[in-house]
Amino acid sequence: MTFAKKKSMELSPQQKIEIEKLSGVGYNPKEIALIMELSPLWIEIQNKNPDSEFRHHYDRGILMKEAERDKNTSDAAKNGSITAVQHLEAKLRQRKLSDLREKIVNGHN
């Protein structure tokens, strides 16, 4: 089913899952639109809106995959992998800097 003619649409539960899976493995919004036969214009508009349903599931897919990788890295570190320990420490430093930047720029606690 193509949605190119619809001006507004709601994503089905299956579409939300598919968006999360595709974004989690690195597909960009334009590629997701082509794969799922969604209107590229609609996807572009939705992706620019941080409060849109598409954007929520797109960002969630990326974050969930990142969390999965971090959990695996953490497990490897617990099992004695020095490389995993180093990667995890670098990731934690990066996250702290990002959080600090967010607090400074946007005043979030």
Q: Is the pLDDT of residue 3 over 50?
A: no
Q: If you average pLDDT over residues 69-90, what whole number do you get?
A: 90
Q: If you average pLDDT over residues 7-15, what whole number do you get?
A: 84
List the chain domain ranges: 13-106
Output DSSP code: residue 4.
T
Task: Look at residue 40 in the predicted model and tell me its pLDDT.
Answer: 95
The rounded Cα 69 to chain-centroid distance in angstroms is 13
Alpha helices for 1-109 (secondary structure H): 13-24, 29-36, 40-48, 53-78, 82-106
Task: Look at residue 109 in the predicted model and tell me its pLDDT.
Answer: 60
Q: If you average pLDDT over residues 20-27, what whole number do you get?
A: 98
pLDDT in tens, 54-79: 999 999 999 999 999 989 989 988 99
- Model confidence at 5, pLDDT cuts 50, 70, 90, reads very low
DSSP states of 38-56 as a string? --HHHHHHHHH-TTSHHHH
- The whole-chain average pLDDT of the chain stands at 89
